[in-house]
Structures are given as structure tokens and as C-alpha cells.
Chains A and B, each alone.
Chain A
Amino acid sequence: MPLVFTLAFRNLFHDRLRLIATVIGIVFSIVLVTVQMGLYLGFGRMVTTMIDHASADLWIMPRGTKCFEDPSLLNTRERYRALLISGVTEVIPVVIGFADWRMSSGEMTPVFVIGSDLRYGGLEPWNLVEGRIEALSRPKAVAVDRTYFDRLGVSGIGSTAEIREQPVRVAAVTNGIRSFTTTPFVFLDVNRARTYTGVPSGKASYLLVRLSQDADRGRVRQEIVSNIADVEVLTPAEFRERSRKFWLFGTGAGAALFAGALLGVIVGTVVVAQTLYSSTKEHLTEFATLRAIGSSKRYIYKVIVWQALLSAAIGFSIAALIGNAIVRLTAATALPIVITPALLVGLFLLTVVMCVGSSIAAIVQVTRIDPATVFAR
């Protein structure tokens, strides 16, 4: 083992209390950043969950649509114009909107209705745990998520309620389709969705376009834009990005999450810098001795940077374990914290940069050492 590493290790572990303070600082900081960034990723996924699960090659939407939940409408007659374009195999209308759900007890709660043409399956419920998709074709049939049973006052298939004073009956149950707005999703046929949301006949929120395998998506998109006025045509990836940008940056939610993460980094940097600085100060005579026996400044910097890296490794390992526990705990909540491998790598690099950056104050302190002081001590 290189002696410079041994020295750094021993310096670090020599004062256990200070080491614990350092590690707590790093763990606190990295867990805070993990939670903020995990929320950012989780939020980013939640706001695009419908786009992710829709079966479409292109989305036709009213010009200026900001996100999936945007209430703008377009004419469904455009569907036929789109179908005339070479390469288009299906154009499926989707209707969305908020509605009031009245429980059998008489209590009301808002719901978010998602209606799709069930013959083509543009945006159907997924993760079915009870019932079948086909059952949604029946009159009054709706699918709800079991997470919201209490909110909706239902207990499973066969439960009844009212939307806009029209009777509905639970015909299918999903698991884990949660809304970041906490408003329960209700899936049903597109025509009944219009009735329940007050969308006029002949209007839809979106037209989902499916293409033949050999179709040129760019050309089809261009032709749709040329042939249909006042619409935008986006790929799923583009629509995802637009929705994410709106919710994360248009609403300030993303900025708040980043601000929290930045705060974590600042707290961590200050704590690590303070403890490394005091550790260096305590070992100043040793560093002066090293200098006196001829070590280069670089050698001493290596000792300090190794101390920082060791602190980073210990702190990050503990923070990663805590982060993993938080991910498990929040997995079934409305806003799960998501940690991707890329985020994990990013957090590790952040920890290293934070700890090494924190050692600058200590390095500056060492730079001023006068080796001749060893004679005076």
C-alpha cells in the first residue's frame, strides 16, 4: 500500500469523532442531493407516464399544447385527413379532462378522465390486476387504479359511482398508475369520456398516429402539418420533453428541486472543508516535518486529497445505502424517488468533486508551511 495512502488513512481515522462529523456532513449532503435529484427524475417520469404508455408514432395536438394535461381541443374530422396520408395506418382520438366523481355515499372528488378509442387501443390502462380491457366497451364501464379505491369510494370490480351525474361501474382495476397531481385517473371509452368531461362531439384532445413499418416519419409529419391547420405534430420523445419542460421548469418545480440539491452540495462542501481544514491544522507539524525532510508540496497535497477521497468513498457508500432505502420506501407513493445508474455515477462524481474541492482550504494552509518551524517545536 502506498505510504501516502497509509498516512492519509491514518490521519483520517486518528480522530474518530472528526471522521464521524465529516462522514455525517457528506452523507447529509449527498442524501439531500439524491432525494432532490431522485424527485426530479421521478417527477419527470410521472409527468410523462401517459405519453410513455400510449401506442403512437406521432401525436397530433392543438398548436401551443404545453403538456399532456393541456385542455386544448382539435377537430376529429382532421383524423380523416391524416388517414389519407401515405404511411398512416391508424389515427386514434384521445379525450382527456377533469371531471367530478360522486361516490355512492354522495361525496365528490375530482378525477382525470382518459378516453381512448378502445377498438384501436391508443391509450389503454396498463398493469391490469382485475378485469379485462374489453370490458371497458360495455356501457358505464371504467377502469380505476386500486391505489385510489379509498379516494373513489370503491372496492373493486362492480363498484358504482357517478361522473357528471352519469352512472359508472368499475369494470377493470389497475395497479400503480398514479398521478403526480394525486387526482385519480379514470380510463374509459372515448365517446363516454366526451360525455363525462363535456368535450363536444367531433372534438378530441389528441390524435394518435400509427405508421406502417416502412413509413418515413419525417415526411408523414411534414405532410400532416401541411394538410391540417393549427396543429402540431410531435414524436413521443418530443412530447415527453415538452411536458417535462413545462412541469419542471414552467412551474418552477424543477428549479425548487435543483435549489434543494445545490443547498445540499453547499452544506456538504462547507462541512467537509471545515473538517479537512481542522484536520490539516492539527497535523501541521507533521506536514512541516514532511516538508523539512524534503517532500515536495505535491506529495503533501496527495495526502490531503487522499483524505478527501477516502471521506468521499465512505460518505458516498453510506449515502447510497440510505438512498436505496428511500427509493424502496417511496416506490409505491404518488411521487417515487428514482435513482438511475447515471444518477448514481453522477452523485459519486459530485461527492468526489465536493470533497476534493473542499480540500482547497487545507491545501492553501499547507502551502504556507515554513519547514523551519520544525526546529521551533
Chain B
Amino acid sequence: MTEPLLEAVDVAKDLGSGAAKVAALKGVTLSLKGGELTLLMGPSGSGKTTLLSILGCMLRPTEGTVRICGHPTAGAGPEDLALLRREHVGFVFQSFHLFPTLSATDNVRLALDVRGQPSRAARVMSREALAKVGLAHKTKAYPRELSGGEQQRVAIARAIVGNPSIILADEPTAALDGENGRAIMKILAEIAGEQGHAVLIVTHDPRLLPFADRVVHIEDGRITGEEPGGAKLPRLQ
């Protein structure tokens, strides 16, 4: 699979207006391919999250084009962008964003429910997704009954349950200890390597480098470099 699943070309984004206007992104070009885990690294304020929001169809670029699985986002309205997100993109957030009043299964099922997936099938698929992230025994647990690592696994199950082509993760290990962080990265690496998803992880944590196929550096709103990651070696060990 060599065709890019996600492609951003000359993307620029201005935030704010008037005197407070800031150029958050300045001509960023980036593509993600299936089966590849990419780390997007940069210091705070470098434009990582803004780029992630644009790639995830949550923000519209001021300039440039973005294509998600061949679909251009230019001119798409909020509902069109939501459709692109639910069909092609899975998200993993730094602070999990699970629903505290729903069980693990129902949290995962939400991603299918918003797509109109029938309840019974969705429940089976959600349990399978939880099993994939090693939580087959916690399907009925509520977020408050789960550790941080387990909550992030539920969030990953929610991201992959609809089998999206692209997984975008924002600092997925930042709220976790080293051991849990490695476990989460292992799962994300498997999702990329074995299931053929394009995985982009925004991070500033160098401990994640060994899991990456490639590393993209961003600074001051510009891509400043790209290098191969230390993947292939530690993955699946």
C-alpha cells in the first residue's frame, strides 16, 4: 500500500485576527501511507496540534489542500467534514475523553453508533475491538474503574472499531507512566503494521522514537525535517 491515505499540500493556517493574528502553519506538506506509524515531533507552540486538527478535518486550512482517502476537504461544510472523520479517521486523545457514564463497551460502541451501525452488531464489534487492545475482561467496566493505561486502550479501541484508514493520536502516552506508555505504543504500532492503518502520533516524547517508521519534525509552523524512525526493530517484540 503505497498511495497516501492522507495528503496535505502547502497547508497554512492563520489563527486569530487583526493584530493578534498568528501564522500557526506555514506551507506544510505531509503525506501518510497505510501500514506506517509516523511521529510528528516538535516543541510546544510549533503547530503540531493545529496540523493534527487540520489533518483530522476539525479545522480548515487558510491555504493549501488536504485529501483524506482521495477526498478533498476544500469547500466541505462542517457536516461533510464530520462525515469524513467518521468514515476515515480514528482519534486517540491525550486525556482519553471517555464518557464517564458509559461502560467500556458502550464507549467503544459510540464510534459505531454515530455511523448508524445497528446496536447488536456494534456491541459484538466493540467487544472484539476491546479484545484486540487486551481488555476482553473489562468490557463492562466504567472509566472510573480503569487505570489510565486501560482507559487509553479503550480510547484506542474506540478509534479502531470502525476500521478507519487513518488513526490520529495526540500525545497518547503523555498521561501514562513509562510501562503503560510502551504498551500503548506497541498497540498503535501493531495497528499500523498488521492492520495497514496510517498512524500519526503527535508527541514530544523521544521514548516513542523506537516505535516509529518515520519521524517528522515541525517547528515554528514549518516541517523542518524528516528521518526514519527506529521501528521494525522493537515492534511486535
Contacts and interface: CB of A to CB of B under 8 A. Distances in A.
Q: Do A and B come from one complex?
A: yes
Contact of B99 (A7, A292, A377): A7
B113 interface: yes
Contacts of A341: none
A292 B86 CA distance: 8
Contact of A10 (B82, B90, B102): B102
B101 A7 contact: yes
B119 A376 contact: no
A67 B154 CA distance: 73
Nearest to B97: A289
Interface stretch (B52-60, B180-188, B203-211): B52-60
B58 A371 contact: yes
Contacts of B58: 292, 370-372, 375
A333 interface: no
A286 B86 contact: no
Interface residues of B, number: 36
B83 A294 contact: yes
B82 A291 contact: yes
Contacts of B158: 293
Interface in B99-148: 99-102, 106, 109-111, 113-115, 119, 122
A10 B101 contact: yes
A2 interface: yes
B49 interface: yes
B6 to A, nearest CB: 15
Given A293-B111, A375-B52, A7 B102 contact: yes
B101 A296 contact: no
A297 B79 contact: yes
B91 A293 contact: yes
Contact of A4 (B100, B111, B113): B113
B119 A2 contact: yes
Contacts of B84: 294
Given A4-B113, A375-B52, A294 B85 contact: yes
B95 interface: yes
A195 interface: no
Interface in A328-377: 370-372, 374-377
Given A371-B58, A375-B93, A14 B101 contact: yes
Contacts of B52: 375
Nearest to B96: A289
Nearest to B115: A294
Interface in A259-291: 285-286, 289-291
Nearest to B93: A374
A296 B82 contact: yes
Contacts of B113: 2-4, 299
Contacts of A86: none
B79 A372 contact: no
B106 A3 contact: yes
A311 to B, nearest CB: 16
Contacts of B82: 291, 294-297, 371
Contacts of B95: 377
B114 A296 contact: yes
Contact of B110 (A3, A370, A372, A374): A3
Contacts of A6: 102, 106
A292 B101 contact: no
B114 A293 contact: yes
B53 A294 contact: no
A137 interface: no
Given A3-B119, A372-B59, A295 B91 contact: no
B150 interface: no
B170 interface: yes
A293 B119 contact: no
Contacts of B93: 289, 292, 374-375
B59 A293 contact: no
Given A3-B109, A4-B113, A294 B59 contact: no
B89 interface: yes
B170 A375 contact: yes
Given A2-B119, A285-B97, A293 B110 contact: yes
B63 interface: no
Q: Which of A289, A292, A294 is the most central at the interface, judged by chain B CB atoms within 10 Å of its CB?
A: A294
Contacts of A296: 79, 82-83, 114
A11 interface: yes
A286 B101 CA distance: 11
A10 B98 CA distance: 14
A159 to B, nearest CB: 69
Interface in A168-198: none
Contacts of A294: 82-87, 89, 111, 114-115
B110 A376 contact: no
Nearest to B122: A3
Contact of A286 (B83, B99, B109, B115): B99
Contacts of A14: 100-101
29 contacts: A2-B113, A3-B106, A3-B113, A3-B119, A3-B122, A10-B101, A10-B102, A14-B101, A286-B99, A289-B97, A292-B91, A293-B85, A293-B86, A293-B91, A293-B110, A293-B158, A294-B82, A294-B86, A294-B87, A294-B115, A295-B82, A296-B79, A296-B114, A299-B114, A371-B58, A371-B82, A372-B59, A375-B53, A375-B170
Given A3-B119, A7-B110, 9 more contacts: A1-B119, A3-B109, A3-B122, A6-B102, A286-B99, A293-B111, A299-B113, A372-B53, A375-B58
Interface of A: 1-4, 6-7, 10-11, 14, 285-286, 289-297, 299, 370-372, 374-377
